[in-house]
Amino acid sequence: MLFRAFLLSLCFAASLAAAPNFLIFIADDLGEGDLSIYGHPVLETPNIDRIGREGMVFDRAFLTTSSCSPSRSSILTGRYPHSTGAEDLHMPLPAEQTTFARVLRGEGYHNVTVGKWHLGEAEKARWAQVAECAGADTARVALEQLRARPKDKPFFFWVASKDPHRPFDSDAIAQPHRPEDVALPPYLPDHPLIRKDLALYYDEVTRFDEHVGQILGELESQGVLDETVIVFLSDNGMPFPRAKTTLYDSGIRTPLLVRYPSLVPKGKLQTGLFSVVDLIPTLLDIAGVEASASEGGSRLAMWRDPEAPGRDAIYAEANWHDFEQFTRAVRTPRYLLVRNYYWRKPLWNSVDSVNSITWKGFLAVARAGGLTPPQKFLLQEPRPFEEFYDLQVDPASLENVVGRPQYDAELNRHRTLLDNWRVKTSDAMPDEPRLDGWTRDGRPLPHNQPWYDNYIKAGGRSNFETF
């Protein structure tokens, strides 16, 4: 009997030794394409790019929402936000939800999260260490945790930097970007304040890239780099108007790079549609563990073969993030349908953006009559109930083609896709819209706690680093 127990313990130890490690880098508000490996004309991100150069770059990977905590809850559970019980900003993830960390802990993994948490108290029980820190300290804390980890266990590290979330540090890097060099997206007007803000955003992207390089170097020095499945992605679009909190590609299309030499071919581009509800099922497939609680499925074939097909469609949702919201979307390779159930109020943008110098510049251009029609759409009241975009000719989703007869057949097909997904996932509207937490000019309302009290204590200032 004792000999049998000894053999079982040896088998368990051998299986742990053979188990892959997992490292997920998740940026905080990094926009689509804002890495040099995606062809950004200004940003240089050689360390993040390394993951893709030595692995695979996903060109059409999508989030399920463009909101910080709901996105993270969705990624870690493989479920759509409305199925997690944490669909609104700041909602804690309920204890009954099955996360990647919960499953891996049951398999003997050492789980560590570094940086931004934003998942609530219950989920902390799944982790050996919850090491919260500022964006500037991400690498230092991650290296401390990597060096202190038990060497006889496989590990899962969730490195969730607060970069490039607002407020931006003015001294993030030694050689800051120049406002005159930034690349303006078509949905933002050209104004000196917007250029200055984008340059600061670039600086924090660059800082996170430096931290990624240090962490990859530590894995290499420990001899475990090639034994670790490495993923890099963002939680939502960049923190600028018409990006973060929206369901356009600027809000939900994420960089996605994966590296695992024994499985993922080197230097390949995957162009199929990939949804983050499939990320954790894919990682669990690599670990040899069933993903029974997920609403997604393993896409391991896409990781092995750049020619393997992706999804037919991805689905996304926008719920309360500072302001009332109930918007749903379906995106296929060519088309995007956005349905605004609360269409009476303008699209607006997240409150950290409303309190930014970008918004001051945006409103200054608006007052001068300098906004283009797509830029004015941010202020339009009411919005259309439905928006439909032909991404083949309009990749930035600037021209709504609802009402054009040549698109009727595709519009109806996408309506059916969206309706069926909502039924399948039990996506019900709330009886009443949740109240806005802020005035439209960025001041917290008294019922919005604890932010209203913090705002008063701070003398009428909002600090969005804690959000």
Q: Tens of pLDDT along 122-160?
A: 999 999 999 999 999 999 999 999 999 999 999 999 999
Q: What is the mean pLDDT of residues 365-372?
A: 97
pLDDT at 464: 53
Q: What is the mean pLDDT of residues 337-351?
A: 93
Percent of the chain with pLDDT over 90: 90
pLDDT, the chain, mean: 94
**Which domains are seen in the chain, by residue range?**
11-311 (3.40.720.10)
60-99 confidence digits (pLDDT tens): 999 999 999 999 999 999 999 999 999 999 999 999 999 9
Name the DSSP class of 438: B
3-state SS class at 44? coil
Residue 388 has pLDDT above 60, yes or no: yes
Residues composing the chain: 467
pLDDT at 463: 59
pLDDT at 349: 87
126 to 53, 161, 172: CA distances (angstroms): 32, 20, 32
pLDDT at 12: 41
Sign of the Cα torsion 279, 282, 287, 291 reads positive
pLDDT at 2: 44
Sign of the Cα torsion 93, 96, 97, 103 reads positive
Q: What is the mean pLDDT of residues 235-259?
A: 97
Residue 55 has pLDDT above 50, yes or no: yes
Helices (H), 274-344: 279-287, 300-304
pLDDT at 28: 97
Q: What is the mean pLDDT of residues 433-457?
A: 90
Quote the CA–CA distance of 464 and 199 in Å, as a whole number.
Answer: 19
pLDDT at 274: 98
**Is the bond preceding residue 382 a cis peptide, omega within 30 degrees?**
yes
